[in-house]
Amino acid sequence: MHDNSLLLFRKHVVPFVTSGAHVLEIGPDNNPSTYRREVSVPVTWSTADLASQVDSRGDRLWGAGGVGDLTYTMHSEYEIPAPDDAFDIVLSGNVIEHVRRPWIWMRELARVCRPEGVVATITPVSWPY
């Protein structure tokens, strides 16, 4: 996790995380994820990642360690197997820079986010926050 990603999450996403919110994190870095550990109110936290990034147990094939208990396994980067309008917050950190067609991907994030919900994409930057 990039330091700036965490700072951006704290500043721009945490204020929207309210008790009882349904959150979807795409591409979590661990279980619980770094972002999830920053949230102190009770929420329903779901995760999604590409099938090519996890093994049969739901553990990451690379990086910081196991994800475990992945809620949604995506067989396409452009399709999240979740219902429409299911989440109050749809979050990705350090993911969009790997998406080949972000304009298509963002439509999918918006589809699973409820009306008036929040879609937050955080990407690392290389200068101090």
Question: What was the pLDDT predicted at 53?
Answer: 62
What residues form DSSP beta bridges with 25?
47, 91
Q: What is the mean pLDDT of residues 60-89?
A: 77
DSSP tag of 110: H
DSSP tag of 106: H
CA 34/CA 52 separation, integer angstroms: 21
Tell me: pLDDT of 80 over 70: yes
Question: What was the pLDDT predicted at 57?
Answer: 63
Give the global pTM. 0.85
CA 18/CA 29 separation, integer angstroms: 22
Q: What is the mean pLDDT of residues 24-43?
A: 91
Mean pLDDT (the chain, rounded):
85
Q: What is the mean pLDDT of residues 112-117?
A: 97
Tell me: pLDDT of 111 over 90: yes
H-helix segments, 13-101: 34-37
